[in-house]
Structure 1
Amino acid sequence: MKQKMNKLLLRQKLVIIFMLIAVIPAIITTTISLYNSKKLVEAKVFNLTKQIADEKIAFIDSFVEKISYEVNSITTNSGVLNKDNNTINSILKNIKDANPNVLLIYIGDSNKRMNIYPKIELPSDFDPTTRPWYQDAIKSFGNIVITKPYKDVATNKNIITISKAFRLLDGSVAVIGVDVSIDTLISNINKTQVGQTGYAALILEDGTIIAHPNKDMLLVNIAEKYDFGKKIIEMKEGNLKYTDKEEKISGFAKSKQTGWIAIATMNEREYGKEFEKSIIQTVIFLIITLGIVALLAL
């Protein structure tokens, strides 16, 4: 009897040892597999969000570059430099008519002369040299200057002014200014889908949101309100994983033309579904492994 009991105890010990030898590696393998699966899923989201942010910035830069090109071409046109009114008015009209986003285009000079298209009545004492668009361009003479977005009172559109100061052939100074609607850019951002539930946003260099699918977020400064916002402003380019009520991953890129930052964001509840599939598959593998070990140990 005692001999049988010893054999049974020995068998049980061997079974336990055998199961530990088989199960421990399986658990380690499962843990490593889950860790790698999570990293792989997150890497895919990192790539997706950054790619979308890059695409948004490419669209913005292309939009602004077209207007900037026209501005630069005006500052080198011989008719403009000679103050030929017919040439100036013709060029302004052609640029405005060719681009539906251009609301107003004008040239003011240091002699207080003003050409503007479409033509509007200006006060007889109107002095372009006192206007912010003129003075800002003078401060950065010879460079393209882009204002922060603002609401146009007349059209209720979101616009920016692109300007540049240049010198005329008689030695006087002039500034070309173009009021451009950016509603097309904002609409493009607002309609962007990142996965099924993710979204895109556009912020100024200081962190102020100018485009977001949630209107309550407009004009919120994320650099002042959120830690992740400060990080995005500091980094300017790249990816960030952070928690804002839930875990999120964002990709972001900065415009070379405006300095604005486009952000593409995906919530954990969406990309987590991909990880959940890996968990289920791995757990099934572990159960099967344990079952086989148990059967062999009988």
Structure 2
Amino acid sequence: MKLKAKLITGVAGLSSIIILICSLFTYISIKNFSNNVDNLTNGLSEVVERDVSGFSGHYAGTLTYLEGKNVVEKLDNIIQSIEYPLNASKSITNPAILKQLFQGFVNKNEYISSMYIASNNGILATYSKDKMEPKQISEEWYQKAKVLKNDQIYISNMQKGKSGKSFITISTPIYTNNQFSGVISADLNATLLSEYISQIKVGETGFIALIGADRSIIGHKNLDLVKESKKVNDLPFFKEISDGRILLDINQVTYLPLVHEKTGWTVLSVIPQEEVSSFTKTIGTNMSNKITEANTMTESSLSKLVSIQVIVIILLIAISIVISCSSPDILFNRLIAYLL
């Protein structure tokens, strides 16, 4: 009886040892797999961050181009909306009719604050939404425009009127029978233009800076720079002007300069490098987290497998104990008969 019980117990014990060895092997495999995944995760994070950095640069370049292009198109529309009433009024000589036309154009177009026309003899007609300083034909708006061709326009630098609002004068000459006969002008509401520019976002933290032909800041997210008549070299990321081009510090910003052909203004579409770097790190971190999450799930599954194997060992030991304590001769005979 004792021999039979020992034999049964030995079989169960041997099975337990085999399973235990398998469990140990599984545990070692899990640890090696986990270490390999950790190394893979770290390596992939570095590779991903490097590759995504290039993608981030292209992404930032696309954003700056699209927003800059939108602003250039907006400027085209604004200038065209001012050129049309100027050209439409050239053939009118009656001051009363001109004033009515000016009133209609000014009230209809929010970007026009005033219109006026003059000949060499002086001002013929004016209309303004705001208080307008008396215009003199000795001023640049007249003198600069009178030497231009019929289809050309003169655009002044940004100025500030008595009302405190900024304006930019757009003038074009009038020719009658191919002879110069006067100048017609409109004041662009530069304050409204500056406010429009200040509201544009490029990406999350980027912005548009509109620079005049005289390098003054016409538009910027910080309107104080406009109100204080700051120049482009007052911008913290300004580097230099080379061959007429505005260059910024690429260590601080990613940018694209677009020159508006008709006005000569420069549209700077800017994204801080912090945002570009943040985008790169975010993608790299997210991918690393996903790999780590997959690693954790794998470890959990393999740990469950080890737990099941341990439970099987315990059951085998329990069964062997039960068998050894209750009628082992009958069970032994049945086992021998089954094997034979």
Q: TM-score, normalised by structure 1?
A: 0.70
Answering whether residue 63 of structure 2 is matched by residue 55 of structure 1, we say no
Distance 1:279-1:232 versus aligned 2 partners, 3 A rule: farther
How much has 1:96 moved relative to structure 2?
2.3
Answering whether residue 192 of structure 2 is matched by residue 187 of structure 1, we say no
The one-letter amino acid of 2:265's match is W
* 1:77-117 Cα deviation digits (max 9, x unpaired): 3xx2xx33343333223222322332221111123352222
Work out the CA distance in 2 between the residues paired with 1:160 and 1:282. 51
Work out the CA distance in 2 between the residues paired with 1:57 and 1:201. 12
Identity %: 19
Q: 2:137 aligns with which of 129, 137, 152?
A: 129
Q: 1:68 maps to what in 2?
A: 83
Work out the CA distance in 1 between the residues paired with 2:65 and 2:278. 20
Once the two structures are overlaid, the 10-residue window that deviates more, 102-111 or 277-286, is: 277-286
State whether residues 223 and 233 of structure 1, in contact with CA within 8 Å, keep that contact through their aligned partners in structure 2.
Answer: no
Q: 1:234 maps to what in 2?
A: 245
Alignment of 1:16-165 (within 5 A): 32-75=47-90, 77=91, 80=92, 83-112=93-122, 114-118=124-128, 128-142=136-150, 143-153=152-162, 155-165=163-173
* 1:204-246 Cα deviation digits (max 9, x unpaired): 134322222224533333358765352695269xxx7712xxx
Distance 1:40-1:118 versus aligned 2 partners, 3 A rule: closer
The alignment partner of 1:61 has SS state of helix
Once the two structures are overlaid, the 10-residue window that deviates more, 215-224 or 187-196, is: 215-224
- 5+ unaligned residues in a row in structure 2: which ranges? 1-37, 299-340
Q: TM-score, normalised by structure 2?
A: 0.63
Work out the CA distance in 1 between the residues paired with 2:132 and 2:283. 68
The alignment partner of 2:267 has SS state of strand
Work out the CA distance in 1 between the residues paired with 2:117 and 2:277. 55
Q: 1:295 maps to what in 2?
A: none
Q: 1:260 aligns with which of 255, 265, 289?
A: 265
Work out the CA distance in 2 between the residues paired with 1:62 and 1:270. 31
Once the two structures are overlaid, the 10-residue window that deviates more, 264-273 or 141-150, is: 264-273
Q: 1:296 maps to what in 2?
A: none
Work out the CA distance in 1 between the residues paired with 2:273 and 2:244. 22
How much has 1:161 moved relative to structure 2?
0.9
Work out the CA distance in 2 between the residues paired with 1:195 and 1:136. 40
Q: 2:281 aligns with which of 276, 281, 290?
A: 276
The one-letter amino acid of 2:127's match is Y
How much has 1:44 moved relative to structure 2?
0.4
The alignment partner of 2:239 has SS state of helix
State whether residues 206 and 223 of structure 1, in contact with CA within 8 Å, keep that contact through their aligned partners in structure 2.
Answer: no
Work out the CA distance in 2 between the residues paired with 1:171 and 1:199. 46
Once the two structures are overlaid, the 10-residue window that deviates more, 250-259 or 34-43, is: 250-259
State whether residues 252 and 262 of structure 1, in contact with CA within 8 Å, keep that contact through their aligned partners in structure 2.
Answer: yes
The alignment partner of 1:42 has SS state of helix
State whether residues 202 and 270 of structure 2, in contact with CA within 8 Å, keep that contact through their aligned partners in structure 1.
Answer: yes
* Root mean square deviation of aligned Cα: 3.8
Work out the CA distance in 2 between the residues paired with 1:271 and 1:128. 51
Task: Count residues with an aligned counterpart.
Answer: 255
- 5+ unaligned residues in a row in structure 1: which ranges? 1-22, 293-298
How much has 1:147 moved relative to structure 2?
0.8
The one-letter amino acid of 1:39's match is G
Distance 1:205-1:171 versus aligned 2 partners, 3 A rule: closer
Work out the CA distance in 1 between the residues paired with 2:40 and 2:132. 83
Work out the CA distance in 2 between the residues paired with 1:62 and 1:216. 26
